[in-house]
Structure 1
Amino acid sequence: MAATEQFQDFVPVDEWPTVATMLEGFGDQTLPASTALAGTTVSLHAEDGREFRFVFHDGSSLAWTTAGTGADQEVDASYKAIEARNGIFIIDIIHGENRAMQHTTIVFNRNTGVATIAVSRFVDEDGRTRAATEFIHAKTESAAGGLHQRSSGLVGKRIYYRYSDVESYEHIYLNPGTFVWHCIRGGEKGLADVERSMVFDIDQDLFLFFWTEKVMTVEAVLLVDLREQRSIGRMFGWDDSTDAPVVLPFNSRLSVLNTTGYPQDHNKH
């Protein structure tokens, strides 16, 4: 590790940059949009009885209906789908404006008919606007697999993420619900924190990863692909300095630095 990184000191929260500054160096999402869903309809049945129907008109627009909640709705919106692996898509849909904006990310495995829908909205928390995300697990009527389950597959791993030529972070996954992020290069250089997270198994060495931050009012939903050594996802949050939503689609190249296991006697008293 370079000396400038090795001796980067602790940074108090009141000296942290704004959300916009933090995101400046991430760059654009470089992976191309897929048109493989164009002209198809996907109907998903959720655990709680809700039914979702997505009609993909073309490669960038869709109609989305929700039924079974007593508050049925229909939304026409644009979308971007990336085929992370053959038949496995991460689909982003944004609609609404300002504090009514909603960012929905769907991880859909067309091979099994199983999906997880992450719906991020803005909420008021102690007088501050921030994001909150609901996870909905669903599948098609002909689904060949069970719903996506919580995973411990990242626990113990230390992974280095290169989001752009100027923005790099490392993650350390402590347990299925907690991880550490640390900015090595970029707008948050030297900053680090421990955050709540969730991980779901999608496929072999492919995980849906979510985290929510305490200081920055952002939440992230992404696919971590250890086989392809990349991540694909987005951040969604509120920037107090501009009083506006923050939407950041991204992808990264990743390297697993190490995997830590406990000694065999760690359960002994």
Structure 2
Amino acid sequence: MTTPSSHTDWISVTGLEKGFETGSYALDNSADLSGKKIELHDASGGVRSLDVDQDQLRVDDGDPVQVRITSLRQGVYLLDWLDERQKPTTSYTVVLDTLSDSYTQVIGTLPTFETIKTGLYERALGGRALTDVNVEISHGAVNQAYSEGVCPHAVTDELIGVRNLYRYSPTEVYEHVYLNENFYTWHCLKGVEKNLCDTDRCHYYKITDDLYLFIWREKIVPTLGIVMIDEQNHRSDGKIFGVGDTEDAPLANFPMASYCQRLNETEYPDEH
């Protein structure tokens, strides 16, 4: 007698967005930066200006774009917007740290549908990354000239071995297991992706004590996730950026925030 294998259907990022909308724990926009002009000085000597007006942003005096600005920790802000004038549409996320007058920037792009069709087996044997979601991560100074060491944000291993629970809404609950410096596992315990799980490429940065920037890039349904995790206040906040249902559908870029808690932490013996 053969027992059929159980499975859960994968859904698009648009479907995920609909699941996260109901009762979302997403933070309200912060008005702290409204009316301010912010200069971002990068390591190459380049300068970009950001003019903030409530939920709109002008970059280098360009046309206004919608921006989401949140703050988990006083003095540290997460700014997120899309530049649809660029091809492909480009995601910009900036951790603006007014405590150290520095920033970390994450620029992300998604693959085309033609690229997505390449199978994981072909990618693996061809030596390619399993995901074609691309990110550029850089650091710089805020309202001052860049100098070496001006930004204290740094790659960290402090989350490695941790298993965290994230409640994004009354209906959506996930756990994360942070495996090593390159990969983590996510598992949906409750919600539209219930029983789905995967292990994906990720990046960890420490912003300040118990406050982390976590970035992940999914390979099955191309997705870029960027969140701040505050282990002191047991909150996370950020966004998911992903392809739509079809090649011509709008891209998804939606907020996600949680009440989070540490479940456990794994420590390996030295001889492993």
Q: What range describes the TM-score normalised by the shorter chain of this pair?
A: 0.7 to 0.9
Q: 8 Å contact 1:121–1:131 — kept in the other structure?
A: yes
Alignment gaps of 5+ in structure 1: 1-8, 66-72
Opposite residue 203 of structure 2, the aligned amino acid is: M
Aligned to 2:271: 265
Aligned to 1:60: 55
Aligned to 1:23: 17
- Measure how far apart 1:142 and its partner are: 6.5
Q: 8 Å contact 2:240–2:255 — kept in the other structure?
A: yes
Residue 102 (structure 1) aligned with residue 90 (structure 2): yes
- Measure how far apart 1:75 and its partner are: 4.8
RCO higher in 1 or 2 (8 Å CA, sep ≥ 6)? 2
Residue 188 (structure 1) aligned with residue 196 (structure 2): no
Question: Which digits, 9 at most, give the CA deviation of each residue in 1:146-202, with x for residues without a partner?
Answer: 342111111010000001111111000011211000110111111111100000110
Aligned to 2:125: none
User: Could you say what secondary structure the match of 1:239 adopts?
Assistant: coil
User: Could you say what secondary structure the match of 1:250 adopts?
Assistant: strand
Q: 8 Å contact 2:12–2:244 — kept in the other structure?
A: yes
- Measure how far apart 1:136 and its partner are: 2.1
- Measure how far apart 1:103 and its partner are: 2.3
Q: Name the CA shift for 1:30/1:44 in 2 (closer, same or farther; >3 Å).
A: same
Aligned to 1:112: 100
Q: 8 Å contact 2:26–2:237 — kept in the other structure?
A: no
Q: How many Å separate the matches in 2 of 1:19 and 1:62?
A: 25
Q: What are the within-5 Å matches in structure 2 for residues 173-212 of structure 1?
A: 173-212=178-217
Q: How many Å separate the matches in 2 of 1:148 and 1:10?
A: 43
How many residues end up aligned between the 2 structures?
248
Aligned to 2:140: 138
- Measure how far apart 1:124 and its partner are: 2.9
Alignment gaps of 5+ in structure 2: 118-131
Identity %: 27
Question: Which digits, 9 at most, give the CA deviation of each residue in 1:123-155, with x for residues without a partner?
Answer: 337533974322221112278943421111110
Q: Name the CA shift for 1:147/1:188 in 2 (closer, same or farther; >3 Å).
A: same
Q: Moved runs in structure 1, 4+ residues, more than 4 A?
A: 97-100, 142-145
Q: What are the within-5 Å matches in structure 2 for residues 71-110 of structure 1?
A: 74-96=62-84, 100-110=88-98
- Measure how far apart 1:108 and its partner are: 0.7
Q: How many Å separate the matches in 2 of 1:142 and 1:45?
A: 6
Q: 8 Å contact 2:40–2:48 — kept in the other structure?
A: yes
Aligned to 1:254: 260
Q: 8 Å contact 1:206–1:225 — kept in the other structure?
A: yes
Q: How many Å separate the matches in 2 of 1:30 and 1:17?
A: 21
User: Could you say what secondary structure the match of 2:193 adopts?
Assistant: coil
Question: Which digits, 9 at most, give the CA deviation of each residue in 1:14-46, with x for residues without a partner?
Answer: x42333223322124531111111122211211
Q: How many Å separate the matches in 1 of 2:111 and 2:10?
A: 23
Q: How many Å separate the matches in 2 of 1:186 and 1:225?
A: 23
Q: 8 Å contact 1:98–1:245 — kept in the other structure?
A: no
Aligned to 1:70: none
Q: How many Å separate the matches in 2 of 1:250 and 1:94?
A: 16
Q: How many Å separate the matches in 2 of 1:24 and 1:203?
A: 33
Is the strand fraction higher in 1 or 2?
Answer: 1
Residue 46 (structure 1) aligned with residue 42 (structure 2): yes
Greater CA drift, 90-99 or 201-210: 90-99
User: Could you say what secondary structure the match of 1:33 adopts?
Assistant: coil
Q: How many Å separate the matches in 1 of 2:254 and 2:264?
A: 28
Aligned to 2:123: none
Residue 220 (structure 1) aligned with residue 225 (structure 2): yes
Question: Which digits, 9 at most, give the CA deviation of each residue in 1:215-237, with x for residues without a partner?
Answer: 01111111011111011000001
Residue 122 (structure 1) aligned with residue 134 (structure 2): no
User: Could you say what secondary structure the match of 1:23 adopts?
Assistant: helix
TM-score by length of 2: 0.82
TM-score by length of 1: 0.83
Over the residues paired in the alignment, what is the CA RMSD in angstroms? 2.5
Q: How many Å separate the matches in 1 of 2:133 and 2:63?
A: 20
Question: Which digits, 9 at most, give the CA deviation of each residue in 1:42-61, with x for residues without a partner?
Answer: 112112333221122x2222
Q: How many Å separate the matches in 1 of 2:224 and 2:7?
A: 21
User: Could you say what secondary structure the match of 1:193 adopts?
Assistant: strand
